[in-house]
Amino acid sequence: HIELKVYSPGLANVIADMRRNMLIGTGSLIFLFGLVLQQILQRLLSKPFLAMVSSAERFAQGDKHVRFNEQRSDEFGYLAKFINRALDTMVQHQYDLELSRYALFEEKERAEVTLQSIMDGVVTLDGSGRVTYMNPVAERLCACSLADALQNDLSHFINFELEDNNKRLPNPVISVLQDNMVVELPPHSAMVRADDSRIPVEASAAPMHDDDGQVIGAVLVLQDVSQSRRLTRQLSYQASHDALTGLYNRRMFEEYLQTALVTVEEENRRHAMCYIDLDQFKIVNDTCGHMAGDELLRQLSVLLQECVRGGDVLARLGGDEFGVLLENCPLPRAVQVAEKIRQRVKDYRFAWQDKSFEIGASIGVVGISADNVNIASIMSAADVACYAAKDMGRNRVHVYEPSDAMLAERHGQMHWAARIVQALENQRMVLFQQPIIGLTPGSHEHCEILVRMRDEQGGFIPPNAFIPAAERYNLMSRVDRWVIENVFRNMSSACHVQHDKMVAINLSGNSLADDELLAFIRQAGHEYGIDFQQICFEITETAAISNLSKATHFMTELRQEGCRFALDDFGSGLSSFGYLKNLPVDFVKIDGSFVRDMASDPIDRAMVEAITRVAHVMQIQAIAEWVEDETTLQILRDMGVDFAQGYHLGMPREVAEKLLAD
């Protein structure tokens, strides 16, 4: 008997098994899906991400040319484009920054080289006034090294004061930092240096600002003006003093006289003037020569200084004539001073070599009061009184009286006027010429026309004897016209003319004031067929300045005809350079007083060089006068002076040959 038994699990177990199997199957599927998804994500995300990380690392290591892959069409491509734009911008900014740094470096180097090279001292300071930089010139000027000055207050090693009275000046840097404005030291300031020495300086301080306009420091610029102030003092002295005697010259004397006249008008003061003329000077000059005459004038100048009072003004008016201004001095007291001078000069003996001379003095005295407050009238009255003293026997003092004017008219003006007029009418005026030699390549020899007057016996009267008289009595214009016409006539008679040669003719101040001279020159030039390009008119600096407007008009008109102009005695006045740019001149003739001693006098040499440089900047040629030796001539060549004139190159000689003849 067979028995079949079937066992059936419980429904719960079946369901549990099925659930477990399903979970296992599902997990397997999920695992398989994860593996597939991992492969997909690795291909889609990990590789591009790692590629971007690699690119970023290369960029960080300095490869500025690496860029992210923009070829993908997914989000990575979009992100790569965005990042690449940012990288491009950053690289461009870095490039611009490098350019800016390089430009800044160049500017810094240029500034450093400039500060190292300029002639001015430059000091920079921070907002507290402490030194942060000094260029080498500043170190030298301040007598202090940058290492010693760094981070120190400026006043620790330099201070400023007025040059004349040593009054301490405020620190300009402090003023700049407080007031935020440029500060300049007053004129004639000096700097007290770290070693307690003083030098004249010009200084200015200016603020430095940040981007917001706030003051962060200051720059102090220092200029050593020792040489320029020394030259200024030298020029001032030369402009106001007589070179031979060291006394005041006529110009300075007249300035003091003008000041005294103001006190007469405003304060009713009374002054007096003495006009002194030596009686035997011409004898000494003619007997022993000019050197003896110069020495006599020097010795008498010392003697006269011992005779006058402390506040009196003593001057050499010209030649052997002296003037004394006695301020706050009544006329009787002035006569006493004049008598003292006369007696001292009379007792004086001048010894030269084996000769001894007795020198006298004729002195004219004039009172200065409210009745005569004009310089010209006072000088004229004193001159007339002096002439009256001579007329009455010499070696005496004479107080001006109105009747003296008639005496002077009779014996002085008529005497010289007659002699000059007769010389003009009787052809006793004689032309002389002196060569002007070119010193630069391509320049040609010129000549200056000089005039002499023959006396009744046939001897020559020197120009310094009759020209002052001709100017005083308004005859110089006639003399100039005679010279112009005779030079033109001489030039026209030359058969073969050197067209590159030029003739220089002097014109006086009186001629510049002659309104008809311009027409006379034009008419004479056309009459004789003159090429005006061969004519140069020389006008003294003093005459040009005294008649500035007329001189400028006169020169402009004749330059249009072709004439050229030279400014004579240039440098003799303080305002020379200031007026030069206003006058249409082609040449400047450097005053001979600078040229004569320039080989031994560094100041004279510097003046000649300065005048030459300024002239060349203005396209004006320079002519040096009074060249008396080869050493001076060589110095002038080395300086670049264009022309030279003087006894070393040629003495004045009478014009016997035809001017400009080949």
Q: What is the mean pLDDT of residues 26-32?
A: 76
Banded model confidence at residue 409, pLDDT cuts 50, 70, 90: low
**Residue type at 616?**
H
- Whether 377 maps to a domain, the answer reads yes
Taking the C-alpha atoms of residue 262 and residue 390, their distance in angstroms, rounded to an integer, is 31
The whole-angstrom separation of Cα 241 and Cα 256 is 13
Residue 363 and residue 278 share a domain: yes
Question: Do 483 and 431 meet the contact criterion of CB atoms below 8 Å apart?
Answer: yes
Domain endpoint, select from 224, 257, 272: 224
CA 42 vs. chain centroid, Å, equals 86
Distance of alpha carbon 363 from alpha carbon 277, whole angstroms: 6
Domain final residue pick, 402, 437, 465: 402
- The CATH number of whichever domain residue 340 belongs to comes to 3.30.70.270
* CA-wise closest residue to 623 among 590, 650, 580: 590
Q: Is residue 662 over pLDDT 50?
A: no
**Which structure tokens are listed for 489?**
């006539």
Q: What angle do CA 654, 565, 243 make, to 5 degrees?
A: 75
Spatial distance between the Cα atoms of 259 and 368, rounded to a whole number of angstroms: 12
Residue 572 lies in a domain: yes
What is the spatial distance between Cα 273 and Cα 271, in angstroms, rounded to a whole number? 7
User: Are 392 and 432 found together in one domain?
Assistant: no
pLDDT tens, 578-602?
667 778 999 999 988 889 889 998 8
pLDDT, one tens digit per residue, over 160-184 is 999 888 888 988 988 888 888 998 9
Total domains in the chain come to 3
What ranges make up the beta strands (E) of 513-648? 535-540, 564-570, 587-590, 621-624, 643-644
Residue that finishes a domain, picked among 359, 379, 402: 402
- 139 and 214, same domain (yes or no): yes
Average pLDDT, the chain: 83
More confident call, 175 vs 473: 175
Q: Give the tens place of pLDDT for each residue, 296-343.
A: 999 999 999 999 888 899 999 988 899 999 999 999 999 999 999 999
- Same structural domain for residues 212 and 263? no
CA nearest neighbour of 431 among 491, 474, 471, 475 = 491
CA-to-CA distance for 515 and 398, rounded, in angstroms?
A: 40
Which of 5-9, 259-263, 469-473 is most confident? 259-263
What CA dihedral angle connects 654, 657, 659 and 661, to 10 degrees?
A: -150
Q: Range of 283's domain?
A: 244-402
Residues 434, 334 share a domain = no
Whether residue 323 contacts residue 341, with contact meaning beta carbons closer than 8 Å, is answered with no
Report DSSP letters for 333-363, one per residue: HHHHHHHHHHHHHHH-EEEETTEEEE--EEE
CB atoms near residue 533 (< 10 Å): 13
Could you tell me if residue 359 is inside a domain?
A: yes
- Mean pLDDT value across residues 507-526: 89
Q: Which of 278, 275, 304 lies closest to 368, judged by CA?
A: 275
How far is Cα 119 from Cα 105, in angstroms, rounded to an integer? 23
CB contact set of 611 (below 8 Å; sequence gap of 6+): 570, 571, 576, 588, 590, 594, 622
Q: Is residue 56 part of a domain?
A: no
Q: What is the DSSP string of 585-613?
A: -SEEEE-HHHHTTTTT-HHHHHHHHHHHH
Q: How would you class 149 by CB atoms within 10 Å of its CB: exposed for 0-12, middle for 13-18, buried for 19 or more?
A: buried
Q: Which residue has the higher pLDDT, 28 or 129?
A: 129
Mark whether 438 and 567 lie in a shared domain. Answer: yes
Cα–Cα nearest to 357, from 306, 247, 282: 282
Q: Name 73's bridge partners.
A: none
Shared domain for 333 and 459, answered yes or no, is no
- Asked, for residue 164, whether it belongs to a domain, the answer is yes
Which three-class secondary structure state does DSSP give residue 198?
strand
The two structure tokens encoding residue 491:
């030039």
Over the stretch 118-157, which tens digit does the pLDDT of each residue have? Answer: 778 889 999 888 999 888 888 988 888 888 888 888 888 8
Beta bridge partners of 209: 215
Measured in degrees and rounded to the nearest 5, phi and psi for residue 236 equal: -60, -40
Q: In CATH, what number is assigned to the domain containing residue 198? A: 3.30.450.20
Q: How many CB atoms neighbour CB 372 within 10 A?
A: 16
* DSSP bridge partners of 393: none
Instruction: Please report where in the chains the tokens 């004129």 appear, as a residue.
Output: 187
587 - beta bridge partners? 566, 621
Please report whether residue 72 resides in a domain.
no
Please check whether residues 187 and 278 belong to one and the same domain. no
How many CB atoms are closer than 10 A to CB 312?
A: 20
* Same-domain pairing of 382 and 493: no
The answer to whether residues 371 and 290 belong to one domain is: yes
Q: Which of 605, 588, 571 is nearest to 643 (CA)?
A: 588
For residues 541 and 574, the answer to whether their CB atoms sit within 8 Å is no
CATH number at residue 534: 3.20.20.450
**If you count DSSP H runs as helices and E runs as strands, how many of each does the chain have, helices first?**
24, 24
Are 263 and 360 in a shared domain? yes
Percent of the chain with pLDDT over 90: 31
| Whole-number pLDDT of residue 6 | 57
What residues pair up with 566 in beta bridges, in sequence order? Answer: 538, 587
Cβ pair 227, 126 in contact under 8 A: no
Are 444 and 388 in a shared domain? no
Does residue 301 fall inside a structural domain?
A: yes
Q: Is residue 607 part of a domain?
A: yes
